Every structure is written in structure tokens, then in C-alpha cells.
């Protein structure tokens, strides 16, 4: 969550967050790569091909240019994707590998598929280095097909047509990031990896774009070339596609169960990882005490987005989610049926949400609804806390860029967000109470 | 051996029958007279065990003042009990059958005598059986055998005691303890027969007269038999159709609590000598099975092989990604339960020696399992073994004192599951090992 906290504008609170949540930053940083979902047709030429000082390796942002041109430097110095391979050599990874019965981590497809740009050897160019981690082409696609026109001043549309991956489009970006940050049929961080020591994978597309940190700036030139995309479009498309990917996992027998046991990464961590006691854990799912609760945080956030755009879909999502919860303690057939229905709705919402213009009224309603989720039943779920906090960060950022809040109010909101993230400072011992208090403060800062 | 098997079968049958109907329960007050079991002036150590003072006769008072069983009903009305009832959607706990089945001497109204009171909690007859059939012979001064023949429950026999205690302390059937109840706030229920006998606290004192009437108890044997019956009962629960997985979830109470209930920044998984699943999956509770493996290896090597094989098979079956995994779990569980039954009989007739005690202490220490549940069982196992060393003089007074001090370290290391650290427990185990007699 601290990584999320690094979103924002005021340097002071960025520093504050780094100080107060340093350990979390390490634990939760988006170390996993955002490599492509499908093998690129092209050869991956390697990071070095992009890093020239007159290309993307400028020491400082270049004025009067289409892009900052220091993208490589931002990635290399500040982006955790840069360290994705290197961490496989660290003690934590070596211990994990041991627990998994592997000789090491740095030579395993299981790990490399997300911790490097692990394309087959035939697709690795001369400058390609596995140790570069999740480099340029892991997200932007193998450059052999488009580097020529790219350096010769082609338009963005021409680059895309030649094979550059459209990371500027919310749905496409979601697809690419989620291929590792949630996973798919071929790459999946299951609970076996978690039990061996892998950190959990909270993710929200807009926040993670910001905290990566982004190596682009939305300028007039950017908008002219790639169009204007708002934070909430990115957020909403991200939530919708995360739901699709989550339901894919539910519907994949190899990812939904292991023998007697359900695949625990599909359930909320705090369902089990809590001390004993009689603390009330109120739930609106209808499930009784002692049950493992399906991680529904993304579905719940998608419901909020859909409520603004397609109210019938929002209602249907709610009904299917309730039925899915009941199925988890009754029969798996129901779970699969409901998951398929949820998947279908979410899939249909991706393009709608990616294009929808969220208004000021939408933003205020979304903020109120997110706060209601965070202060309501089931808020002991760590995943609900994650999603509520990151959603509110996306809303506040969007309000700010849309000029809906003045500087004083923006600062107050930033302060309140900071306190919200502190609720996660001890993620392992997440408790809803301080989180609820911070949400109330944020609510007060938002005003009417 | 065959006789022991037969005896065990008879006890099990008698126990089951008695649970169904062991006559009218006449109530705690019937036993509490000051000339019966409610005597305030306790005989001296020299007097105890003589014809005039065969027992202390203060058993009722020990129970009433020191034994948690006396409070079993009362706790249902306390805030925690209310909270649990609320979480379960019950009006209250003190009238709910699922609570009363273990929190009092839950016989049907037709078998409650005039002095029976539900509020007495787990009273005399909850363990010793309804007294209406045997109270007469009992106060007439007949032999213990006569009392047993009339219906007194043989709590002095390890296998019978295990059967009785575990009917609640593991539960099953009408006394089912589900993860639903746990999730509502019921505390976890670690149990080991010999340690729990001692800390109850025991309301009997072993004298020469006691030994002559009921046999001389051996803590190592009580521990060992308790582990076997424990495993047998666990496997019965695992193969009970009521506990078959529903939807996505198996009956979680059958699994090791700490496999899940730990902070996410405190990784629990480690490779175990006894096999078991890989990281990130639930583990069927097997701490008692692991202890039993150590006992079997020493006392019944033939059975030990089967036990180890079936335990490993059970863990494999539980993690097998095949459509009929549940059938596999049932098969492996049934086989393991049979092993445990055979071991219970073998251990009940084994004469545990000083050499056995020393070897078992070392086997427990080197079992290599440092999970929290295993650590609890290892602690209680060593407590039982040290108790036997003391009772039988297998260690001298100074050795016993040193061992008891070292046992304190084990209890300290396992005091709280949330702050438990395997390395501290391992260090405490080494302290115990260093004090063991050679």
C-alpha cells in the first residue's frame, strides 16, 4: 500500500510515506513484471536498444519533445520492474525456491515468466539480457518489427500498426499488467508460492501506473497523439478486467482447486490469517462463522463503477456475487455457474468503462460508495481495504486533474489518503478500525 | 494382545451404549456429602491409603474449587459464551443443544434424577457414568471390580479414559465441534490425555492401595494410548460423511489451525520429517499422529511402518489433484484409523520401562516437527514422560527438578500461538534433552 501512497503530487508526503511505510514498500512493491500476454511476433532487442541518450536515456526530461526521453532512466533508477530479475537471486527468493523444491529461482520458468522478459531464445536479439528484468519490450512488445519506423518519426498509430503494444489504451494496459499481476493459465502465483514466501499481489491499474512510477507525462502533445484517458477510465477498465481474469481462474479446474482444498489465492487472506478470538467479523455475504470468504473486492468495486454507467449490470453483479458466495459452502457447480455469469458481465463492461466520461457527480458518488464499502460489513477483508484505498486515490487524482478540487482541498485529501495508507502499515495485522477512522476523515475532507 | 483388543472393543461398545443410556444421573449433590467425596479435612500423607482413609474423600471439593469442568456450564453465560452464541445465530448458549452436549452432563430429562442440575456443568456422572445402578454397591464398600460390573465407568483404564475425555475434547456425532463454532469464537482445543489428567487437577492420589485396586498408572502409557485413541477418533471424523467437503471448503476443524492462522509476515511452512504437504496448503492436523509414530517405532515397530505409510498416503491423498480425491482421503484415513486402533490395543498392554521412557523422550525431541501444534504435543508428551520418571524413580529428585525447570521453557515457548517462534522452541527442547538421565 505504501507503493500506492507514493502516488500524489506533494514531495513532502511522498517522503513521509516512504519513511512510515518503508517495510511495506518492500513487501508490496509491484515486483512482478508486466510482460505480454501473447508472445510478440518480433524479436526482443533488449533494453540497451532503447537506452541511448538521444532516445529514451536522457539524463533529464527533454523539453519540447513528444515524450520525456528519460524513460529508460526512470525505469532503471526508480521502477521495481528493473529489479524483477535481480530479486530472484536474493535470500528471500532462494528460501522460496528451497521450499518449493527448486534448485534456484533465477533459472526457473515458473519465476522467470514474470520476473524477466522471458521470451523463447529464438526471440532474443543480440542485446537482449534476461537479467534486465521486466524491461521495455516486456510491456511494449518486441521491437524488431517497429523500431525502424519508431526512430524515423512515424505516428503513434503507425507504430501500433507495426506491433508496438498500445499501453496507452486502458483495456490493453490492463490486459498486459494483469497477465502477471493477477496471472493467467500459463502464469499464476498460487497459494503454494505464497506459502513459500511470495508477497501477496494487491493491484489496481491506475494506482500502479502512477506508482510504477509512470515514465510518461500527459501533455497536450501526448493527448494529441494518444488521446485523453482519465484515471477513472483506467481504474474502471482495470477493475473490470481483473474480475474477468479472476473468474477465469475460478473456472479453470487447474487453478481453482488442489485436491481437497480450494486455491486459496482466490480467497481473502484475512479470512484465515488472523489470530483467534471472538472479534465480530460482520459480513453481508450471508456466510456463517468459520468459513473462507471468496475475495470479492474487485467485483464489489466493479459494481460501484457499473452503478454509474450500467445500473442493471451493477444489480446483476450483486445478485450473482451473492449466489457465488453461497455456492462456496454448498456446491462448486453453483460457483462455476455464477462465476461464468459475472465474467460475462465484466467482459462486456471493459470497453464501456474504458470510454465512459466520469463526471464530477460520478466521482463524488464513487467516493461515497467506496467509503461505504470500507466502513461497512466485510471490511476486515484485507483485499477490500486495498481496493477501497486505491480506488479513492484514483478518484482524488482524477478530481484534481479535472480541476474539481482546489489546491487547499487537494492537500487536505492527500493528507487523508496518507492516513488511510497508514492503516496498512502493518499489513500482516490489518485491522479495520484505524482504516475506518481514516475513511471518515477523508469523507470529511471531501465535504459535500 | 488379543485380550487387549477384545477389552478395548468391549469398552468402546460399552462406552457407546452408555452414551446412549447409562441410567439415571443422580446429580453432583449426591456425591458431595462430607462423609463421601466432600470431606474438608484431608488425611495426612501417612494416613492416606490406609483402611481408614483409602482415598482423600475431597474429590467433590477439588472438582468444585479447582476443576474447570465445574464451570463448563457457567461459562456459557459469560460474555464470551454470549458472543459465540450471537455469532452462531443462537438465542443463547445455555439452552442450545450444540453447546450443552459438552458444557454439562447432557443426559435427556428422563434420566435426570431429583438432585440433578444442568448448571452443575461437567459433574461426577458425566465421566463416571450415571450412578443409579452402582451407587448402592459403591457405598456398600464392595470392590472396584464390583462397582465396574454394576456400571461405574473405568476411568482408570487409559483407553477407557481416552474414549471418555475425547468424546468432548475431540467430539463427533452429537458433540460435533465444527469450524463454524470455532469461527464464532470457540477457543482451540489442544488435548493430551496424561497432561490433562494431571492439570484437571486429578482428584485421585496413587497410593499402594490405589495400585492394588486399580493398577498402577504409568504416565507414558496414558500419554501413548491417548495419542492412539486421539488419532483413531480423528480418522473417524475424517471419514464421517457429515464432514465431507461442501462447495469449495472441507471441514476445516480437521486441519491444523496454525497452517492458516498466522500473520502473513510470519511464514510457517517448513519441511517435516513426517512428510506432509508443501507450502501454502492446509495440513490435516497430524500432531498426535506424529507423536504416535515415535511411540510405535519404539514399542511396535511392525505397526510403525504401516502408520508412517498411511499417514504419508493421507497427506498425499488430501493434496491429490484428482476428481475422486475425497475417496482417496477416506481410504487413507480409514487405514490410518485402523492402525491407530491396533496401536491403542498394543500400547494398552505394553509395560513401559525406564528405557522406553528415555528413548521416547529422545524420539519426541528429535521428531523434527516444530509446527505450533506439534510443539504443543511435544511439550505435553515430555511432561508425561517426566511425570513417569518421577513416579517410578527413573530419575532422581535433582534430575526431576532440572527436567521440570527445562519443561518450563517449553511451556513458555508455546504460550501463545501468535508469538510462537520455532527456533525458541527448538532451543527449549535442547535444554530438556540436556537434562535427561542417561
**pLDDT for residue B306:** 96
CB A278 within 8 A of CB A262: no
Q: How many CA atoms lie within 13 A of B43 on its CB side?
A: 19
**Is the bond preceding residue A213 a cis peptide, omega within 30 degrees?**
yes
**pLDDT for residue A422:** 78
Q: How many residues does chain B have?
A: 438
Asked if the C-beta of B90 comes within 8 angstroms of chain A's C-beta atoms, the answer is no
Average pLDDT for B2-31:
64
**pLDDT for residue A428:** 64
Q: Which of B182, B271, B319 sits opposite A258 (nearest CB)?
A: B319
SS3 assignment, position A263: coil
Cα A181 to its chain centre, rounded Å, is 6
Cell (9 digits) for A236: 474502471
CB within 8 Å of chain A, chain B residues 398-417: 417
**pLDDT for residue A427:** 63
Decide if pLDDT at B315 tops 80. Answer: yes
Highest mean pLDDT among A31-40, A262-271, B15-24, B374-383: B374-383
Closest residue by Cα to residue A129 from A157, A152, A106: A106
CB B428 within 8 A of CB B409: yes
Cα B378-B383-B386 angle, rounded to 5 deg = 120
User: Do the Cβ atoms of B320 and A292 come within 8 Å?
Assistant: no
Average pLDDT for B55-78:
97
Residues B396, B114: Cα–Cα separation, whole Å = 51
Q: Are strands A261-262 and A257-258 parallel, antiparallel or unpaired?
A: antiparallel
Residues B11, A195: Cα–Cα separation, whole Å = 43
ipTM greater than 0.90, yes or no? no
User: Do the Cβ atoms of A278 and B325 come within 8 Å?
Assistant: no
CB A6 within 8 A of CB A417: no
CB A418 within 8 A of CB A12: no
Backbone angles phi, psi at A431, to 5 degrees: -125, 140
CB A321 within 8 A of CB A415: no
Residues A304, A299: Cα–Cα separation, whole Å = 9
User: Do the Cβ atoms of B248 and A257 come within 8 Å?
Assistant: yes
Nearest-Cα residue of chain B relative to residue A335: B247
So where are chain A's domains?
1-30+202-448, 32-165
Q: Which of B180, B264, B281 sits opposite A273 (nearest CB)?
A: B264
pLDDT in tens, B246-272: 887 889 999 999 888 888 777 778 777
**pLDDT for residue B436:** 97
SS3 assignment, position A124: strand
Nearest-Cα residue of chain A relative to residue B321: A259
Q: Which of B80, B261, B278 sits opposite A274 (nearest CB)?
A: B261
Cell (9 digits) for A142: 518486441
Cell (9 digits) for A374: 470500507
Residues of B in contact with A275 (CB under 8 A): 261, 417-418
Q: How close is the nearest chain A Cα to the Cα of B317, in Å? A: 7
**pLDDT for residue B269:** 80
Asked if the C-beta of B257 comes within 8 angstroms of chain A's C-beta atoms, the answer is yes
Helices A231-251 and A332-355: crossing angle, nearest 10°? 160
Q: How close is the nearest chain B Cα to the Cα of A224, in Å? A: 46
Place of cell 473468474: A247
Q: How close is the nearest chain A Cα to the Cα of B338, in Å? A: 22
Q: How does the average pLDDT of chain B come out, rounded? A: 92
SS3 assignment, position A63: coil
pLDDT in tens, B196-244: 999 999 999 999 999 999 999 999 999 999 999 999 999 999 999 999 8
Residues B200, B62: Cα–Cα separation, whole Å = 9
Nearest-Cα residue of chain B relative to residue A265: B280
CB A258 within 8 A of CB A343: no
Q: How many CA atoms lie within 13 A of A158 on its CB side?
A: 9
Asked if the C-beta of A411 comes within 8 angstroms of chain B's C-beta atoms, the answer is no
**pLDDT for residue A40:** 46
- State the pTM of this model: 0.87
Asked if the C-beta of A37 comes within 8 angstroms of chain B's C-beta atoms, the answer is no
CB within 8 Å of chain A, chain B residues 195-254: 245-250, 252
The CA–CA distances, whole Å, from B94 to A184, B118, B312 equal 50, 9, 42
Residues of B in contact with A262 (CB under 8 A): 248-249
Asked if the C-beta of A280 comes within 8 angstroms of chain B's C-beta atoms, the answer is yes
Instruction: Tell me the pLDDT of chain A (448 aa) as tens digits.
Output: 444 444 444 333 323 333 333 333 333 333 223 333 333 468 999 999 999 999 999 999 998 888 999 999 999 999 999 999 999 999 999 999 999 999 999 999 999 999 999 999 999 999 999 999 999 999 999 999 999 999 998 999 999 999 999 999 999 999 999 999 999 999 999 999 999 999 989 999 999 999 999 999 999 999 999 999 999 999 999 999 999 999 999 999 889 887 778 899 999 998 888 887 656 678 899 898 889 999 999 999 999 999 999 999 999 999 999 999 999 999 899 999 999 999 999 999 999 999 999 999 999 999 999 999 999 999 888 899 999 999 999 999 999 999 999 888 988 998 999 888 877 665 666 778 888 999 999 999 998 6
Asked if the C-beta of A216 comes within 8 angstroms of chain B's C-beta atoms, the answer is no
User: Do the Cβ atoms of B269 and A200 come within 8 Å?
Assistant: no
Closest residue by Cα to residue A238 from A294, A320, A181: A181
Amino acid at each position: 500500500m505504501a507503493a500506492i501512497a507514493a502516488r500524489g503530487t506533494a514531495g513532502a508526503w511522498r517522503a513521509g510515506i516512504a519513511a512510515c511505510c518503508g517495510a511495506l514498500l518492500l513487501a508490496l512493491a509491484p515486483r512482478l513484471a508486466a510482460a505480454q500476454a501473447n508472445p510478440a511476433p518480433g524479436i526482443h532487442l533488449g533494453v540497451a536498444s532503447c537506452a541511448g541518450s538521444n532516445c529514451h536515456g536522457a539524463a533529464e526530461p527533454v523539453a519540447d519533445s513528444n515524450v520525456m526521453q528519460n524513460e529508460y532512466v526512470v525505469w532503471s533508477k526508480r521502477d521495481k520492474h528493473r529489479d524483477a530479475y535481480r530479486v530472484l537471486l536474493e535470500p528471500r527468493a532462494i528460501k522460496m525456491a528451497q521450499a518449493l523444491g527448486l534448485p534456484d529461482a533465477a533459472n526457473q520458468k515458473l519465476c522467470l515468466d514474470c520476473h524477466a522478459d522471458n521470451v523463447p531464445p529464438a526471440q532474443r536479439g543480440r542485446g537482449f539480457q534476461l537479467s534486465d528484468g521486466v524491461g521495455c519490450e516486456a510491456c511494449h512488445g518486441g521491437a524488431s518489427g517497429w523500431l525502424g519506423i519508431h526512430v524515423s518519426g512515424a505516428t503513434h498509430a503507425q507504430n501500433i500498426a507495426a506491433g508496438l503494444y498500445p499501453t496507452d489504451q486502458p483495456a490493453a494496459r490492463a490486459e498486459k499488467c494483469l497477465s502477471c499481476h493477477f496471472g493467467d493459465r500459463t502464469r499464476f502465483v498460487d497459494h503454494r508460492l505464497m506459502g513459500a514466501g511470495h508477497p501477496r499481489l494487491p493491484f489496481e491499474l491506475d494506482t500502479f501506473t502512477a506508482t510504477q512510477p509512470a515514465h510518461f507525462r500527459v501533455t497536450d502533445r501526448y493527448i494529441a497523439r494518444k488521446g485523453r484517458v482519465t484515471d477513472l477510465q483506467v481504474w474502471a477498465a482495470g477493475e473490470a478486467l481483473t474480475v474477468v481474469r479472476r473468474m477465469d481462474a475460478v473456472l479453470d479446474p487447474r487453478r481453482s482447486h488442489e485436491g481437497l482444498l480450494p486455491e486459496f489465492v482466490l480467497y481473502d487472506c484475512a479470512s484465515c490469517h488472523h489470530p483467534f478470538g471472538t472479534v465480530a467479523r460482520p459480513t453481508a455475504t450471508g456466510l456463517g462463522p468459520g468459513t473462507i470468504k471468496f475475495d470479492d473486492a474487485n467485483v464489489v468495486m466493479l459494481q460501484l463503477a457499473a452503478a454509474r454507467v450500467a445500473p442493471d449490470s451493477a444489480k446483476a453483479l450483486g445478485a450473482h456475487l451473492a449466489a457465488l458466495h453461497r455456492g462456496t459452502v454448498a456446491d462448486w457447480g453453483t460457483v462455476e455457474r455464477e462465476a461464468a455469469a459475472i465474467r460475462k458481465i465484466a467482459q462486456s463492461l471493459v470497453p464501456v468503462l474504458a470510454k465512459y466520461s466520469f463526471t464530477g457527480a460520478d466521482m463524488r458518488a464513487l467516493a461515497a460508495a467506496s467509503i461505504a464499502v470500507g466502513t461497512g460489513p466485510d471490511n476486515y477483508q484485507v483485499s477490500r481495504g486495498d481496493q477501497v484505498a486505491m480506488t479513492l486515490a484514483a478518484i482524488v487524482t482524477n478530481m484534481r486533474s479535472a480541476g474539481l478540487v482546489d489546491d487547499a482541498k487537494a492537500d487536505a485529501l492527500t493528507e487523508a489518503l496518507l492516513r488511510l495508507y497508514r492503516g496498512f502499515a502493518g499489513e500482516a495485522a490489518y485491522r479495520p478500525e484505524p482504516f475506518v477512522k481514516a475513511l471518515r476523515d477523508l469523507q470529511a475532507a471531501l465535504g459535500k | 494382545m488379543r485380550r487387549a483388543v477384545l477389552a478395548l472393543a468391549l469398552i468402546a461398545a460399552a462406552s457407546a451404549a452408555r452414551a446412549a443410556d447409562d441410567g439415571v444421573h443422580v446429580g453432583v449433590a449426591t456425591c458431595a456429602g462430607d462423609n463421601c467425596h466432600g470431606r474438608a479435612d484431608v488425611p495426612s500423607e501417612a494416613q492416606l491409603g490406609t483402611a481408614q482413609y483409602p482415598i482423600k474423600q475431597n474429590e467433590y471439593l477439588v472438582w468444585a474449587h479447582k476443576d474447570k469442568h465445574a464451570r463448563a456450564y457457567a461459562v456459557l453465560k459469560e460474555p464470551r459464551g454470549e458472543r459465540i452464541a450471537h455469532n452462531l445465530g443462537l438465542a443463547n448458549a445455555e439452552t442450545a443443544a450444540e453447546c450443552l452436549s459438552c458444557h454439562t452432563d447432557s443426559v435427556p430429562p428422563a434420566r435426570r434424577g431429583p438432585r440433578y442440575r444442568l448448571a452443575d456443568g461437567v459433574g461426577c456422572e458425566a465421566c463416571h457414568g450415571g450412578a443409579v445402578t452402582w451407587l448402592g454397591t459403591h457405598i456398600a464398600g464392595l470392590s472396584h471390580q464390583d462397582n465396574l460390573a454394576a456400571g461405574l465407568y473405568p476411568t482408570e483404564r487409559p483407553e477407557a479414559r481416552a474414549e471418555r475425555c475425547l468424546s468432548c475434547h475431540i467430539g463427533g456425532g452429537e458433540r460435533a465441534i465444527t469450524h463454524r463454532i470455532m469461527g464464532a469464537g470457540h477457543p482451540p482445543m489442544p488435548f493430551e490425555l496424561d497432561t490433562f489428567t494431571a492439570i484437571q487437577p486429578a482428584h485421585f492420589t496413587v497410593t499402594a492401595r490405589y495400585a492394588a485396586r486399580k493398577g498402577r498408572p504409568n504416565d507414558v502409557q496414558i500419554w501413548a494410548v491417548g495419542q492412539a485413541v486421539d488419532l483413531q477418533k480423528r480418522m473417524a471424523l475424517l471419514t464421517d460423511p457429515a464432514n465431507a467437503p461442501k462447495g469449495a471448503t472441507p471441514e476445516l476443524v480437521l486441519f491444523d489451525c496454525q497452517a492458516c492462522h498466522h500473520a502473513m509476515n510470519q511464514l510457517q511452512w517448513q519441511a517435516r520429517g513426517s512428510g506432509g504437504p508443501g507450502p501454502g496448503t492446509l495440513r490435516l492436523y497430524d500432531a498426535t499422529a506424529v507423536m504416535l509414530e515415535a511411540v510405535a517405532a519404539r514399542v511396535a515397530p511392525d505397526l510403525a511402518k504401516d502408520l508412517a505409510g498411511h499417514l504419508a498416503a493421507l497427506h498425499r491423498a488430501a493434496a491429490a489433484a484428482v476428481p475422486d480425491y475425497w475417496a482417496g482421503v477416506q481410504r487413507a484415513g480409514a487405514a490410518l484409523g485402523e492402525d491407530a486402533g491396533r496401536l491403542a490395543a498394543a500400547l494398552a498392554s505394553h509395560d513401559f520401562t525406564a528405557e522406553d521412557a528415555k528413548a521416547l523422550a529422545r524420539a519426541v525431541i528429535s521428531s523434527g516437527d516444530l509446527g505450533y501444534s506439534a510443539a504443543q504435543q511435544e511439550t505435553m508428551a515430555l511432561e508425561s514422560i517426566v511425570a513417569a520418571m518421577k513416579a517410578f524413580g527413573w530419575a532422581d529428585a535433582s534430575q526431576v527438578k532440572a527436567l521440570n525447570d527445562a519443561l518450563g521453557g517449553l511451556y513458555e515457548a508455546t504460550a501463545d500461538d501468535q508469538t510462537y517462534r520455532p527456533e525458541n522452541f527448538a532451543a527449549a527442547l535442547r535444554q530438556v534433552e540436556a537434562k535427561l538421565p542417561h
